[in-house]
Amino acid sequence: MKTKITLLLLAFFMFVSNAYSQNTFDGSYCPGPGVSGDEYLGQLTTGALSSSGGTCEIGQIWAKVDNLGQSLRLAFKIGNAGTALIRIYIDKDNNSSTGLITDSSFGGTPAAGGAEYILQINTNTGATKLFKDLTSTTVTEVALVPGGLSGKNGDSNGCAGGDKVFVEFYIPFASIGFDPCNTTQPGTINVARYASVSGGSTNSSGCTSQQLNFGVPLSGSVTPNQSLCQGTSASQLTLTINGGINTTVQSWQDSTDGVTFTDIAGTSGLYIYAPGLLSVGNHYYRARILNTGICVNSFFSSAAKITVNAAPNAPTTTLTQPPCSGGTGTITITSPIQTGMTYSINGLTYTNTTGIFTSILAGTYSVTAKSATGCISPPSSVIITAGDNTPPVIAILPTPSTINCPATPVFAIATATDNSGTVSSLTFADVTTSGTCAGSYSVTRTWTAKDACNNSSTASQTINVQDITAPVIAALPATSTINCPATPVF
């Protein structure tokens, strides 16, 4: 596991002081920003820590690693000139439960993060103090050692001025027991925290306190860290080496646990490496470096971590189809169901978190799930049907028929079936049409069948009634004879 040295920064501000500088440890930004030889150009930095205008504020922090000189410089630009006490807390074993936990000797009793060393500087006078042999609650001041941990104040904008808003801390690796040539100690220094107080005494009340994320790679670094989805190739990695000359990249190495690394064949001399398509899980990449000006043996860069996240399985669903034509259905996803999962039925919009899609019109849909890590499942195709638009079917009725009066029509009883299984109603209506003579007519009976979706069908039967019987004349008297002058009487 790579070692980390954590620096917790806390500052006490009132008003500030001066010094003179060049591109060495001298308390000033020299050569200044933007000029030839800019001391901190291209170095690791973090800025806009606060509004950077008041006596309790830090505007920017720079870090510069000197691998040949085996040291680290930390520089601070503070809010304005005046007196300030700045302390940095160095946790050399990266264990926040050992060393100094809280600093009751400093205003506001700030967290110290398990520090083993404290450096304190007065920004007005440049006076520096060192504390070590720390317990969880106590600090002990010790004498500064020439060439060891120290601090200086100076100018923020060059070598000759004295705006009193700039200080530098000098941290030789040997002074804190850090050996960049020890293969168990390649790592980073993290400026994890700073705080300030409003007075010039260590008992002044607290002003600000802020967590930082500020890593200083000591021997070099491989970047960037990546989080990918299964099936996506990793972006290329870049090796950056801090300081030194005649540096040789002996090989890149990979690991699945960040502890046991294996050389990657064919990577000697490479400063860029493309891992390509990786399996699901964690992958770590670092470089094995040789620079005899720094170390006799190889040392290692910090590692980049690539996490390949598994894609969700293709969704399984249940469907509620619209019962009738023109209606809407429901798509319900039954798996995968996980915290942070979102769902889509068009492959574009992932805002649904329940897996239930309602009021869905007829059509074909591609259902996908997206995990909390942004990985998208294979699609599942589902179909919402158009609903029932099929009318019931009425059994065939008799063809038109004719009867003779005085008979009256007798109709067949219709029956009907429906694809849904239910005929909600079967009714009839008769229409009578008069014939050309009295006694003749026709009757048409029309049946109407409806289902639950109000789909309907009709069928008719017609019976004609005709009069083909001639009239019957009652019997008349037999032929008779009369004598005139009588006249016939019928």
DSSP character string of 428-444? EEEEEEE-SSTT-EEEE
193 and 271 share a domain? no
Which helix H or strand E contains 381, and what residues bound it? strand 380-384
Q: Which domain does 347 fall in, by range?
A: 316-384
Report pLDDT for 256.
Answer: 97
69 and 196 share a domain? yes
Report pLDDT for 15.
Answer: 30
In this predicted structure, the answer to whether residue 119 has a pLDDT above a threshold of 90 is no
CA within 13 Å, CB half, 86:
35
The pLDDT tens digits for 237-273 are 999 876 555 678 999 999 999 999 999 999 999 999 9
Which of 245, 278, 309 lies at the terminal end of a domain, its last residue? Answer: 309
- Copy the structure tokens of residue 344: 């889509």
The pLDDT tens digits for 36-95 are 888 888 776 766 555 556 666 777 888 887 766 778 888 888 877 777 788 888 877 667
Does some domain include residue 194? yes
275 and 397 share a domain? no
Does some domain include residue 268? yes
The pLDDT tens digits for 273-318 are 999 999 999 999 999 988 655 566 677 888 999 999 999 999 999 9
Closest to 451 measured CA to CA, from 394, 398, 395: 394
208 and 232 share a domain? no
pLDDT average, residue stretch 96-122: 82
308, 285 contact by CB (below 8 A): no
CA within 13 Å, CB half, 310:
6
Report pLDDT for 212.
Answer: 55
182 and 235 share a domain? no
Report pLDDT for 59.
Answer: 78
pLDDT average, residue stretch 329-346: 96
Q: How many other β-carbons are positioned within 10 Å of the β-carbon of residue 53? A: 9
How many helices (H) does the chain have, and how many strands (E)?
A: 0, 36
Q: What contacts 199, CB < 8 A, 6 or more positions away?
A: 12, 14, 107, 205
Does some domain include residue 473? no
- Look up the CATH number of the domain holding residue 285: 2.60.40.10
Which of 332, 351, 384 lies at the terminal end of a domain, its last residue? Answer: 384
Residues written for the chain:
490
Does some domain include residue 205? yes
Which of 360, 384, 408 lies at the terminal end of a domain, its last residue? Answer: 384
In this predicted structure, the answer to whether residue 377 has a pLDDT above a threshold of 90 is yes
- Look up the CATH number of the domain holding residue 335: 2.60.40
- Copy the structure tokens of residue 249: 């990249």
More confidently predicted of 101 and 225: 225
460, 397 contact by CB (below 8 A): yes
230 and 350 share a domain? no
The tally of domains found in the chain comes to 4
213 and 226 share a domain? no
The model's pTM: 0.54
